Structure 1
Amino acid sequence: MIEKTKTRLWVLLLELFSLSVLIGVFNLFFFENPGFLKTALNPYIILSFLAAAYYGRLAGYMSFIFSSIVILLIYPPAHSILGTPLSITKHIEVLINNLEVSHAFTIPVVYLLGLIRENYGGALQSLKNRFKNLTREKWRLIKETEGLKEVYKELEERISRQHESITLLYSQIQKLNNLRLYEALKVLLEIVENFTEAERASVWQYSSERKALLLHASIGYSE
């Protein structure tokens, strides 16, 4: 994450420097207006304002610095290459003479635009984070709701089965009053089978005379 941020910063700085150089190349065609200081809408200053408004104070300051480097250091040698020599001293003197009071407000305006952008960006990022949190909370609630529905469904099924079991148990108990012992034991085994889901069950009694267990009733065993 940090590496990506650094990469984006370097790309941004390279773009700002390239734009400053591009404006400087265009400025070479206006020899009598170095730095476009005589122009009301100065491209260098506008670039700094736009950088501050879109990317923050740092971008605005760096754009201003890049533009200053292009105007002070690149402009004179470029003119010499084009056959119109221009000394740095003379160049600086021309720049100073063309400065106006409005140019002094460039840095404060860059600061204000950058500050507004950063505050707006912070608020926007806060809203994005809140939206992400709300989205995650929504999906969590949806999953919990689905889970509760499954639990509710299971409880309904269990209650329904218990109701049926209670009804069956009552009817079976009513039968016991009119049955003989063997038949009553069979009914009890059926009750055990229904409530425990046992596949097989049996009732044995120990006979002291035979000294062995005697089968009285069974269910689920092959005869």
Structure 2
Amino acid sequence: MMEAPLPKLAQKLGLEKDFLRTIGSVLLGLVAVNYSVFPRDPGFLKIAPNPYLLAVLIGAAQFGLAAGLWAAFLTSILVVAQGTIVRPAGAETLFPMTGLLGTIVPNFLAAVILGGLEEARRKSCRRLKEQHEELKGENLRLREQLLAVTKVKEELEQRVLGQEATVQSLYEATRSLEALEEKQVYAGILGIAERFVGANKSSLYVVDYAQDEAVLVASHGWKDRCENPARIPLLDPVIRTLVQRNEPLTVRDLVHDLDLEQAWRSLGLRSLMLVPVRERGVLLAILSVDDIPFLRLTIPTLQALCVIGELVAPAVAKAVRFAEMEAKDQIDRATELHNYRYFLEALTRELHRVARHKLQLTVLVLEIAGSEHLRRALSPKSWRIVVRAVAKMLRHDLREIDLICAGRRSGTYWVMLPLTSLEQSLKVVERLRQRVRASGKLLGLKHAKLDLWFGFATYRPYIRDAQMFIQLAEQSLELARQSETRSDPEGKPAKEAQEANVAQEDERR
């Protein structure tokens, strides 16, 4: 309760609130020590510098110049008061306190010097604090810039990764669509458009020739619903122009054709690009790119969309049941696989893509080992079970982009392995053979071993058509069949028996 007035008084004097309390405590301590320890000469008035200089030093060092001067002033009053008590003024002395100047003056000098140093230190601290605040603000600004640069870097990395997507990865993505259901195929096509060309919003129309219109079947990127029309008549000028051009139609093409622009607006299209999807020259679907980053509106983007339209055509054809009556004659009833005719047509289409984009392709022809002997040994029903079981095992162990079909002879299978080198194909064959060998007992074949013979052919530039491809694979199978069936009486493996026969022929020569 007694300490409250002192801070208020110090603040009124323009000093720090703890000044009076600190100086008062020091002075009282000094007085108490002086009078208790040195009663004959309290205050050490004859000593210069005087012990009361300690209060001045504390005030100036802790509270600055103004506080040091106040401490010197209060100390001077105390010194004068003690000097008057010890040596009262007499009539014979004109100014008896002149002897105390040697004690008072050093107090003020110490206050000025030490207080000035403290003020300089405080100004330096304030300047350092201001610089610290400025640096904190600059640091915050740089952190914000770093965050923005990091976001730009991540976006550029995504663009680089998108540019690194090759034709091979696009091919794999489109081929995997052929194993999906109808709605999954449509959604997958729009996902491919977003992944490879950055289409934020897109739509897919499927052509319904029975109703003479293109029907909206899927959309991507729209929040509520797609703003494009649900149906577009095939006789509309936009669709007729798209059919005639056989290439993507963009908003840039509207500049020079006012009628086409009017038709575009009358349909209410939000599209920036319309990409035709064709199979054998027949328009199957229309891919509509409704929103795309401005930097992606380039010629390479249009070229990429053309490739996408070409590669997704088989998946769309399968989804919309293209040539359904023809497809009914392309199923092998014994194996429930597509037949040889379907494989020949698929290989022809695949060969064009491989030659155009310079991709790898391997064709395998697989045959159940000793099929003729095994067919005679088993009943027709058991043979059909074996053939169908082997077909299911092969189909299960292959990739989604691979194609397996039944061969022309019972017990043979044709396999097409896109994007697969010869070394990889041989590993696939070995895995399939191990699977078939292990399933012999499960099929009830106690006295016969189930195995596969195989032939292969890989794409080379001199292969002109699918028939040459198949002929090379069949020749390879014939060589493998002869090699497997040749064995010596001691039961050596086929390869060793073949080498022994070659050695015998050399000796005869």
Aligned-partner residue type, residue 217 of structure 1? L
Corresponding position: 1:26 with 2:29? no
Residue by residue over 1:190-211, the C-alpha shift from the partner in whole angstroms, topping out at 9 and shown as x without a partner, is: 866522366861144788xx7x
CA gap of 1:102–1:167, structure 2 versus 1, over 3 A, is: same
Contact 2:47 2:103 in 1 (8 A): no
Unaligned runs of 5+ residues in structure 2 are 1-7, 172-186, 194-198, 216-282, 286-315, 322-509
1:194 maps to what in 2? 192
CA gap of 1:214–1:118, structure 2 versus 1, over 3 A, is: closer
1:81 maps to what in 2? none
Task: Give the CA deviation at 1:46.
Answer: 2.8
Distance 2:163 2:116 in 1: 69
Aligned-partner residue type, residue 45 of structure 2? L
CA gap of 1:49–1:198, structure 2 versus 1, over 3 A, is: closer
Contact 1:205 1:213 in 2 (8 A): yes
Task: Give the CA deviation at 1:217.
Answer: 3.2
Task: Give the CA deviation at 1:42.
Answer: 1.3
CA gap of 1:214–1:89, structure 2 versus 1, over 3 A, is: closer
Residues matched between the structures, number: 191
Distance 1:113 1:191 in 2: 83
Contact 1:24 1:71 in 2 (8 A): no
CA gap of 1:190–1:31, structure 2 versus 1, over 3 A, is: closer
2:414 maps to what in 1? none
CA gap of 1:88–1:102, structure 2 versus 1, over 3 A, is: closer
Match for residue 51 of structure 2 among 8, 26, 43: 43
* Structure with the higher helix share, 1 or 2: 1
Residue by residue over 1:151-210, the C-alpha shift from the partner in whole angstroms, topping out at 9 and shown as x without a partner, is: 21221212321453x848x98xxxxxxxxxxxxxxxxx9866522366861144788xx7
Query: RCO (CA 8 Å, sep 6+): is it higher in 1 or 2?
Result: 1
Distance 1:194 1:118 in 2: 72
Task: Give the CA deviation at 1:129.
Answer: 2.7
Distance 1:194 1:91 in 2: 110
Q: Sequence identity of aligned pairs in percent?
A: 21
Task: Give the CA deviation at 1:109.
Answer: 3.3
Corresponding position: 1:16 with 2:23? yes
Distance 1:91 1:20 in 2: 24
2:155 maps to what in 1? 154
Distance 1:133 1:153 in 2: 30
Distance 2:100 2:23 in 1: 23
Corresponding position: 1:63 with 2:71? yes
1:217 maps to what in 2? 284
Distance 2:150 2:64 in 1: 50
Larger mean CA deviation between 62-71 and 15-24 belongs to 62-71
Contact 2:56 2:110 in 1 (8 A): no
Unaligned runs of 5+ residues in structure 1 are 77-85, 172-188
Contact 2:190 2:202 in 1 (8 A): no
Larger mean CA deviation between 23-32 and 111-120 belongs to 23-32
Larger mean CA deviation between 134-143 and 123-132 belongs to 134-143
Aligned-partner residue type, residue 21 of structure 2? L
CA gap of 1:117–1:193, structure 2 versus 1, over 3 A, is: closer
CA gap of 1:32–1:89, structure 2 versus 1, over 3 A, is: closer
SS at 1:217's partner residue?
Answer: strand
Distance 1:19 1:119 in 2: 25
Corresponding position: 1:122 with 2:130? no
Residue by residue over 1:5-54, the C-alpha shift from the partner in whole angstroms, topping out at 9 and shown as x without a partner, is: 95992222211111111111222233443432212341212321332133
Distance 1:139 1:157 in 2: 27
SS at 1:10's partner residue?
Answer: coil
Larger mean CA deviation between 141-150 and 37-46 belongs to 141-150
SS at 1:156's partner residue?
Answer: helix
Q: TM-score, normalised by structure 2?
A: 0.30
CA gap of 1:193–1:68, structure 2 versus 1, over 3 A, is: closer
SS at 1:37's partner residue?
Answer: coil
* Structure with the higher strand share, 1 or 2: 2
2:492 maps to what in 1? none
Task: Give the CA deviation at 1:125.
Answer: 2.5
Q: TM-score, normalised by structure 1?
A: 0.61
Contact 1:52 1:110 in 2 (8 A): yes
CA gap of 1:102–1:197, structure 2 versus 1, over 3 A, is: closer
Contact 2:207 2:213 in 1 (8 A): yes
2:365 maps to what in 1? none
Aligned-partner residue type, residue 130 of structure 2? N
Larger mean CA deviation between 5-14 and 55-64 belongs to 5-14
CA gap of 1:41–1:197, structure 2 versus 1, over 3 A, is: closer
Larger mean CA deviation between 45-54 and 64-73 belongs to 64-73
Contact 2:80 2:97 in 1 (8 A): no
Contact 1:53 1:114 in 2 (8 A): yes
Distance 1:56 1:127 in 2: 18
